Structure 1
Amino acid sequence: MSAQETAAASPVADAFARDGFVCPIAVMSAAEAADYRRRLEAAEATYGGDKTFRKMLRRYPNLVLPFIDEITRRPEITDVIAEILGPDILVLDAPFFIKEANTKSFVSWHQDLHYWGLETEEEVTAWVALSPATAESGCMRFVAGSQNRRVDHRDTYEEDNLLTRGQEVAVTVDESEATDAALRPGQMSIHHGRVFHASHPNRTDDRRIGLAIRYIPARAQQVKGGSMAAMLVRGEDRYGNFRRCRPPTGLLKEADIAHWTEIAEARNKIMLGGEKN
């Protein structure tokens, strides 16, 4: 099934094709979101002093935290993604984007697919809110229709930018054209990897916690290198274009950490030009 054939039968896919994003979409109850947040913060309380653990929250946490792998496989999420990408779905990564209360952290305007080394434009990011994401807390912002543009980027390395290199589009974005993607805990937005997106600092007294799950169809391929890995979460992988990730066996188990290290290092060489974790 092609993305075009899927989109023809799906209002969500139609809106996605038109605007490059759709929100809000309910994918779990507020109580379930609160439980996932509790499990995250319990892990942070135990392991948060470890630099490698903090890196894991931003690179493939689904390889070392079973409850993150569980979220990526929830049918409430993957059924929506399948409306756009078809039934056979891989997770390329699932990083957390966490803004602490009353901090300056922000995300500059950028396009994800500029960096990812894929030969396809078929990609959907599901941004799942585990805490309130509002204009005040720095929710995601999108420019509708910008997924149809290809623009240059530059690296700024700004200290408060949550992106690894502070990467941003090398064009001026009219803020008045942006849409705030406000979400309640348990809701998600979905966006195309080419749509312009950004977010402001968190000016509230609560953390803004979001999980950005990067979904691609199993038929996708790389154009850079050949060592990237992905996790099959729905359907079948009849192509074998990516190294297969394996689900975690427990919470931060030694074998899973070794697996994470291997996968993350290969990812960095391709997606960020060798940038370290």
Structure 2
Amino acid sequence: MAGRLPPAFNASPHLLMPWLWDIVHDRRLIDPIEEILGPDILCYGSSFIMKRPQDRKFVSWHQDATYWGLSSPEAVTAWIALTPSDRDSGCVKVLPGTHLRQHDHVDTRDPLNLLGRREKVVADIDAGQAVDLVLQPGQMSLHHVLVIHGSEPNLSKEPRVGFAVRFIPGHVGPRDGLRMSATLVRGRNRGSCHLEEPPEGDFHPAAVARHAQMFRRAMRVIFAGAGRAAPGPSAPRDGR
């Protein structure tokens, strides 16, 4: 799926396809998120993440919060495996304990880096301390918006495909007057996010038009402020 979607459509594709809208609302996904973020939950975005077999592309060490434009770094990414994600295929690796502070990032312009701005964290990385998040299809991992993570190239003979869904609590919104939208998945929207609507059907014209507006807002957020991180507390309620 990710390999066939134009890049713009891979930004929050749950706004374009009802079956993905259903996934981001699925209680099997949302119940554990509520344990971390509380009863009011917004989906801030989603995307397919694909590595082709025996490809040199990778994801550099980074923190998700850097370019998200959030008023507070209270967020969780759910990474859902659609194919096996292991060391050979370049599974996600995390550095435990690094969620306690924000680090500076630089844009590397490396064309093999799968991140949108080719960014990487400016920090001393001890890769030997990294933990591999090995997943089978249908399993998911959760990581904090500030934990340093990345992944190696896919050295296997099969594609590695995941669906990443980003969640924020209902009181979090954009910082510095930025405009952004989000999908309410449980509880109430207590921040300043514009609430997104479900797609009428797969790539319905009305949904595509709304998605285009969302995409333009999202690009302005990503490229605003040279990647300044959100202020405030860095850990969710349970400290993960």
Give the TM-score taking structure 1 as reference length. Answer: 0.78
Q: Secondary structure at the match of 1:249?
A: coil
Distance 1:184 1:67, change over 3 A: same
Cα distance in 2, alignment partners of residues 63 and 120 from structure 1: 24
Cα distance in 2, alignment partners of residues 225 and 158 from structure 1: 31
Q: Secondary structure at the match of 2:224?
A: coil
**Residue type at the aligned position of 1:175:** A
For residue 8 of structure 2, what is the aligned residue in structure 1? 55
User: Is residue 143–residue 177 contact of structure 1 (8 Å, CA) maintained in 2?
Assistant: yes
For residue 139 of structure 2, what is the aligned residue in structure 1? 187
1:269 aligns with 2:220: yes
Q: Secondary structure at the match of 1:67?
A: helix
**Residue type at the aligned position of 1:268:** M
1:170 aligns with 2:122: yes
* Relative contact order, higher structure (CA 8 A, sep 6+): 2
**Residue type at the aligned position of 1:144:** P
Cα distance in 2, alignment partners of residues 153 and 274 from structure 1: 12
* Structure 1 residue corresponding to 2:44, chosen from 82, 92, 96: 92
1:246 aligns with 2:197: yes
Q: Where in structure 2 are there 5+ consecutive unaligned residues? A: 227-240
1:215 aligns with 2:167: yes
For residue 109 of structure 1, what is the aligned residue in structure 2? 61
Q: Deviations over 1:144-182 (max 9, x none)?
A: 000012211000111111101210001221110100000
Q: 1:102 Cα shift?
A: 1.1
Cα distance in 2, alignment partners of residues 156 and 55 from structure 1: 22
User: Is residue 8–residue 215 contact of structure 2 (8 Å, CA) maintained in 1?
Assistant: no
* Structure 1 residue corresponding to 2:33, chosen from 73, 81, 99: 81
Cα distance in 2, alignment partners of residues 222 and 66 from structure 1: 26
Superposition RMSD in Å: 1.6
Cα distance in 1, alignment partners of residues 7 and 118 from structure 2: 18
Report percent identity of matched pairs.
Answer: 38
Q: 1:240 Cα shift?
A: 4.8
User: Is residue 42–residue 168 contact of structure 2 (8 Å, CA) maintained in 1?
Assistant: yes
What does 1:116-135 correspond to in 2, within 5 Å?
Answer: 116-135=68-87
User: Is residue 268–residue 274 contact of structure 1 (8 Å, CA) maintained in 2?
Assistant: no
User: Is residue 101–residue 202 contact of structure 1 (8 Å, CA) maintained in 2?
Assistant: yes
Q: Deviations over 1:174-218 (max 9, x none)?
A: 110100000000000000010000000001111111111000011
**Residue type at the aligned position of 1:264:** F
Q: Deviations over 1:117-160 (max 9, x none)?
A: 11212101000000000010010000000001221100011111
**Residue type at the aligned position of 1:190:** L
Cα distance in 1, alignment partners of residues 220 and 176 from structure 2: 9
Q: Secondary structure at the match of 1:95?
A: strand
Q: Where in structure 1 are there 5+ consecutive unaligned residues? A: 1-39
For residue 198 of structure 1, what is the aligned residue in structure 2? 150
Cα distance in 2, alignment partners of residues 225 and 93 from structure 1: 19
Distance 1:151 1:111, change over 3 A: same
Cα distance in 1, alignment partners of residues 176 and 80 from structure 2: 29
Q: Secondary structure at the match of 1:94?
A: strand
Q: Secondary structure at the match of 1:189?
A: strand
Query: May I ask how many residue pairs the two structures share in their alignment?
Result: 226
Q: 1:272 Cα shift?
A: 2.7
Structure with greater helix share of residues = 1
Q: Deviations over 1:216-251 (max 9, x none)?
A: 0111122133320000111222x2510111111111
Q: Secondary structure at the match of 1:126?
A: strand
